Amino acid sequence: MSDWNVTLWLACYAAVFAGLSVFGAHRLRILWLYARHRKEEPKPLKKFEELPLVTVQLPLFNEMHVVERLLGAVSRLDYPKDKLQIQILDDSTDETVTVCEEAAEQLRKQGFDVEYRHRTDRTGFKAGALEAASPTAKGDYLLIFDADFVPQPELVKELIHHFTDPKVGMVQARWGHLNEKESLLTRLQAMMLDGHLVLEQAGRSRSGHFFNFNGTAGMWRKQCIADAGGWEHDTLTEDMDLSYRAQMKGWRFVYLKDVVVPAELPPDMDGFKSQQHRWTKGSIQVCKKMFKKVWTSEEPLGIKIEATAHLGANFAYLLMFGVLVLVYPANFVFQTTWMKTVLLDIPVFLFASLSVIVFYLTAQGAQRPWGWVRALPYLPLLLALGIGMSINNGKAVLEALFNRESEFVRTPKYGEQTAPKRRRSKYKAARSITFWLEVALALYFSWLVFAALSKGQWLSVPFLAMFQFGFLYVVLGSVSKWVSFPSWTLPPTPPEEPTSDSDPAIA
């Protein structure tokens, strides 16, 4: 290879990894924000002398496996029945309709004020259902749950008193994980989410930066939604969109890290990929929609910069495309020199890799004593899964950038169904063309691992093997419904005693 070609490849290598290092440096900033404000637990100004009327909104679409569990949990909320309205917002096209109608009637017999709304036109999907229900919502405060959440009885009282501050527009509880210990996939998903839910949300909210409603397990002031322009459905993440519009109107949001509402993680790979695709694409859509508005607003510069980092975080997946292309020349063409190691490889590792490792270990340590130690064995697998998801999520970024329309695809929810029943369920996520690209990359990186071993490039093997495992795991996880494949079930972890700054263990 000529000197010019080598220079070009090195320049591309440096540019891609410099970009990834910027995202890594931002993770370190989030860690700093969290550490600086970790003891500043939000407290309500005072308590309501008379509890206000609250409307619980339950947007549903074909959720027959989990809807009864949800409605049962809502019926056990420790809040006066005469101060509670339940809106079942059902867009279902299957037996869920009958289940909801019967459950609504049972709740009425128990003395609850229940409104059952069934739409045959899914205009706007979840956002459309919430917007359509607003005129008949009696409460000044709206508590929203997706179908797979199981709120604890005391939740309403833990959230409602924060609204004694007239500037508070939304209070968000943290998601927990009902089935975290079911498999390796659910364990890794939980770790990924905990990084966002424990560190990012808490760090941003407590330091006065913008953060987003997570779409569920949060309570809104009805006036705040109206003031922000209501629910809009021109993005796939209507929750993030409304959050930014509301905060730019001057409303303050509260995040309660230690109030945990458990929910179901997607137990299969295709469901996980579908969920990640929707979240990734939606966030880029919101970035395109709100970027100019953020930067032309009168918000402080620090808030604008952090909002940009928040909205644009998923652009990192486009840089991962560059990594996939550059892996071969970086390991088999470039001559390894001390200059390349010192100026490129070490900074890349420190900012692009070490920052990720510290980020997720901190999230686990923040929840339970020695949690970071228990998480250590999973870290290489977590990094590998992130690599394996890069094609799926990178495709979502490109679809958003080029305005490719797609409908809101729900994540299948299975409740207490066993794995064999889930394989036969009609609630299965569709497979996209990315599957075949992932197959090709799994084979490609298997060949690169073999090539590194045959050439004695031992230092390259762990790096390449992480790419190999990531794509193999995503591919095999997708086909495991039809072929015999290990379930990756993990041995049970002994129960953990929560500390004063920890969350209660969720079985």
List residues with catalytic annotation. Answer: 91, 239
Measure CA 5 to chain center.
Answer: 40
Strand partners, 60: 90
Question: What backbone torsions phi and psi does residue 59 show, to the nearest 5 degrees?
Answer: -75, 125
Nearest to 238, CA basis, from 347, 127, 76, 104: 127
Strand partners, 141: 54, 221
- Beta carbons of 129 and 233 less than 8 angstroms apart: no
**Neighbouring C-alpha atoms within 13 Å toward the C-beta of 310:** 26
Question: What backbone torsions phi and psi does residue 455 show, to the nearest 5 degrees?
Answer: -90, 0
Measured at the CA of 487, the angle between CA 485 and CA 493, to 5 degrees, comes to: 155
Nearest to 170, CA basis, from 139, 143, 136: 143
Burial environment of residue 416 by CB neighbours within 10 A (0 to 12, 13 to 18, 19 or more): exposed
Scored b (16 or more CB within 10 A) or e, 8-47 reads ebbeebbebbebbbebbebbeebbebbeebbeeebebeee
Give one DSSP letter per residue of 369-435, joined into a string: TTHHHHHGGGHHHHHHHHHHTHHHHHHHHHHHHTT-----PPPP--TT--HHHHHH-S--PPP-THH
